[in-house]
């Protein structure tokens, strides 16, 4: 998350919003977001409704306890998925930023 915070402006510059869904309680995540000064949207989902929905409806999310990341384009289509192999395994920002650059180029083309 430190990486996402550090590079947040780079995401914004590419016309993207960063949205993090977490299973923790609303109060725990609010305290954490403020303490860590996280600029992005943090959505508490202690009932796992969104993760379940993504897992069941379109098999986007593999079952399990590892993190996942996806890039959804402006049209609402999933264009990139990454499944962590460990709790800390989130792809480097530059990889995600390159995906966003590609999406923005498509729009221009």
Partner 1 sequence: MPLKLDSTEAPDFALTDTEGNRVQLSQYRGKKHVVLVFNRGLF
- Residues engaged in binding partner 1 (CB under 8 A): 1, 4, 11, 14-24, 26, 28-30, 32-33, 36, 41-45, 49-51, 53-54, 57-61, 64-79, 81, 87, 90, 96, 100, 103
The least distance separating partner 1 from the CB of residue 9, rounded to whole angstroms, comes to 13
CB-count burial class (<10 Å; 0-12, 13-18, 19+) for 74: exposed
Kindly tell me which of 9 and 36 has the beta carbon lying closer to partner 1.
Answer: 36
The least distance separating partner 1 from the CB of residue 20, rounded to whole angstroms, comes to 4
Concatenated DSSP letters of 31-59: HHHHHTT--SEEEE-TT-HHHHHHHHHHS
């Amino acid at each position: 998350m430190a990486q996402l915070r550090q590079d947040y402006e780079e995401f914004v510059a590419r016309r993207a919003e960063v949205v993090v869904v977490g299973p923790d309680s609303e109060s725990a995540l609010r305290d954490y977001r403020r303490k860590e000064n996280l600029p992005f949207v943090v959505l508490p989902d202690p009932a796992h409704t969104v993760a379940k929905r993504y897992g069941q409806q379109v098999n986007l999310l593999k079952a399990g306890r590892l993190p996942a990341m996806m890039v959804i384009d402006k049209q609402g289509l999933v264009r990139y998925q990454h499944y962590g192999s460990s709790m800390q395994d989130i792809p480097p920002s530059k990889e995600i930023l390159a995906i966003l650059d590609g999406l923005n180029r498509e729009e221009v083309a």
